[in-house]
Structure 1
Amino acid sequence: MTKITLQIDGMQCGMCESHVNDAVRNAFPVKKVTSSHSKGQTIILAEREIDQTKLKEAVDAMGYRVVSVKSEPYEKKGFSLFGK
């Protein structure tokens, strides 16, 4: 799994968050996407890497501006009986 964090300029409200989330969901196979206009941030969980240029294009097409993209491996945190 990959966690992709976007810093986005232009989100002002909950509808903006929804527009960005829908744009990402419609363009890419993602497990989860959440946005916060107050943080200016969108977090995406996906099985594999997403092309950053295409990701920026999808968000920019909605009228927002991607300022930065950070990608990192993601492991679900949780309780394990095996201590790992």
Structure 2
Amino acid sequence: MTEHPPGRPGTCAHRSEGAESMSTVTTTYKVTGMTCGHCEGAVNSEVSGIDGVTEVKAVASTGLVTVTSTRELDDEAVRAAVDEAGYELSGRA
């Protein structure tokens, strides 16, 4: 069993340089209309452009988009980015 630092359950011991002081927020959204890898790439690209976003993973087969950011995101900013990519944000999953 892996021991985690107090107050940080589920954190990974592997960190990139400088990541010790950066906390992240991960939010999963439901997006309709994605059907393939091209769709995933379009959503990833647009959502990645939001200030504070550090990682995006869109999965067409589930319609889920997981966004990791340095702070809580404004859902309307995510909605606008998904719309710009040509898809529809249904809300948080």
User: Where do 5+ consecutive residues of structure 1 fail to align?
Assistant: 71-84
**Amino-acid identity (%):** 31
What is the root-mean-square deviation of aligned Cα atoms in Å?
1.1
Instruction: Give the TM-score of the pair, scaled to structure 1.
Output: 0.77
Residue 61 of structure 1: SS of its match in structure 2? Answer: helix
The code of the aligned residue for 1:41 comes to: L
Relative contact order, higher structure (CA 8 A, sep 6+): 1
The aligned counterpart of 1:15 is 38
Considering fraction of residues, name the structure with more strand.
1
Counterpart of 1:79 in structure 2 is none
What is the TM-score normalised by the length of structure 2?
0.70
Question: Which runs of at least 4 in structure 1 moved beyond 6 Å after TM superposition?
Answer: none
Specify the code of the residue in structure 2 equivalent to 1:38: S
User: Unpaired runs of 5+ in structure 2?
Assistant: 1-23
Deviations, residues 14-47 of structure 1 (Å, cap 9, x unaligned): 0100000000112333121111000001001111
